[in-house]
Structure 1
Amino acid sequence: MQNQNTQIFFNDSDVDVTHKINTIELDNWMSHLKYIKKEITNLINLCNTDLSLQLQEDNVLKSLHKKEVENENLRAALNRYAISRTDIMECEDTQCDMVYITEHESYRKRYLQFIEGYRKLKNEFFNKVQGTFTLTAKH
């Protein structure tokens, strides 16, 4: 989508503006998921042997690995979606435009659900880690 013109002009139709905003949003999602991939890797690597045992008992580490796979699956889906949007400028009627807009809304919902789940997992991870560090520091 980077090669599509996303600059919004005064004479752009509402639909053109919507497509451009959706393209920018999609690029942001993909960038964010790329960062999350690195963050999940760092969270997993933070676990030393003792911490790892504590987190495995609570299934947090297993959940991080699962979320890592979900992130990759969503990134792949968004990449395929981005490629499918290359013909968006070829739309000649409202029905065609609405197909793209509706599809984008479904990806937005999927992305937001993933982010919500990831944030909950990350909070759970830090709550568990904080408790472990607190116990370790007192000994």
Structure 2
Amino acid sequence: MTNLNTEIFDHDTDVDVAHKINTMELDNWINHLKYIKKELVNLISICSKDLKYKLGDDSVVERFHKKEVENETLLNALHKYSNSRSNIMECEDTECDMVFIKEHESYRRSYLYHLDKYRRLKDEFFNKVQGKFAFLSID
């Protein structure tokens, strides 16, 4: 959400500070998912060439494709969520603020879960590649 000034001032309330920090965090998530999107394109390209035959495992490419779709889905959801945060300025009571804060926590869990699954998949891929190349270089 680019509409909200994220500079924290001495006169900001705790809730204002929380909203500003959440906005900065959300921008970070979106930028990170954009990077993952590019990284997945590269990983899929690498796997789609000769490497998938050397690995003997087509499921790697399929799992990267699936992660690519999941990444795009989450990225789109975060963009929509970012746009909806423009209504924060209209909050006049704590109940309204808490709705935004709880929603943010929900997106945080989704983002962290996605990130964990992506990292595990990438680690598994690199372990396979490293193992295959280490095995091939022994000759």
Q: Same fold (TM over 0.5)?
A: yes
C-alpha root-mean-square deviation of aligned residues, in Å?
Answer: 1.5
Cα distance change on mapping 1:56 and 1:86 into 2, 3 Å? farther
TM-score, normalization by structure 2:
0.93
Q: Which moved more, 1:53-62 or 1:28-37?
A: 53-62
Query: For 1:48 and 1:134, how far apart are their aligned partners in 2?
Result: 21
Structure 1 unpaired stretches of 5+: none
Q: Which moved more, 1:126-135 or 1:7-16?
A: 126-135
Query: For 1:138 and 1:129, how far apart are their aligned partners in 2?
Result: 14
Deviations 1:44-68 (A, max 9, x none): 1122643213556262221111000
CA contact (8 A) 2:52 2:58 kept: no
Q: Secondary structure at the match of 1:10?
A: coil
Moved over 6 A (4+): none
CA contact (8 A) 1:60 1:124 kept: no
Which residue pairs with 1:2 in the alignment?
A: 2
Percent of pairs with identical residues: 61
Give the length in aligned residue pairs. Answer: 139
Which residue pairs with 1:135 in the alignment?
A: 135
Query: For 1:106 and 1:56, how far apart are their aligned partners in 2?
Result: 38
Is 2:28 the partner of 1:28? yes
Structure 2 unpaired stretches of 5+: none
Q: Which moved more, 1:37-46 or 1:68-77?
A: 37-46
* Cα drift, residue 43 of structure 1: 1.1
Which residue pairs with 2:11 in the alignment?
A: 11
Q: 1:47 corresponds to which letter in structure 2? A: C
Which structure 2 residues correspond to residues 1-139 of structure 1 after superposition, within 5 A?
A: 1-47=1-47, 49-55=49-55, 57=57, 59-139=59-139
* Cα drift, residue 2 of structure 1: 2.2
TM-score, normalization by structure 1:
0.93
Deviations 1:32-86 (A, max 9, x none): 0000001111111122643213556262221111000000000000000001101
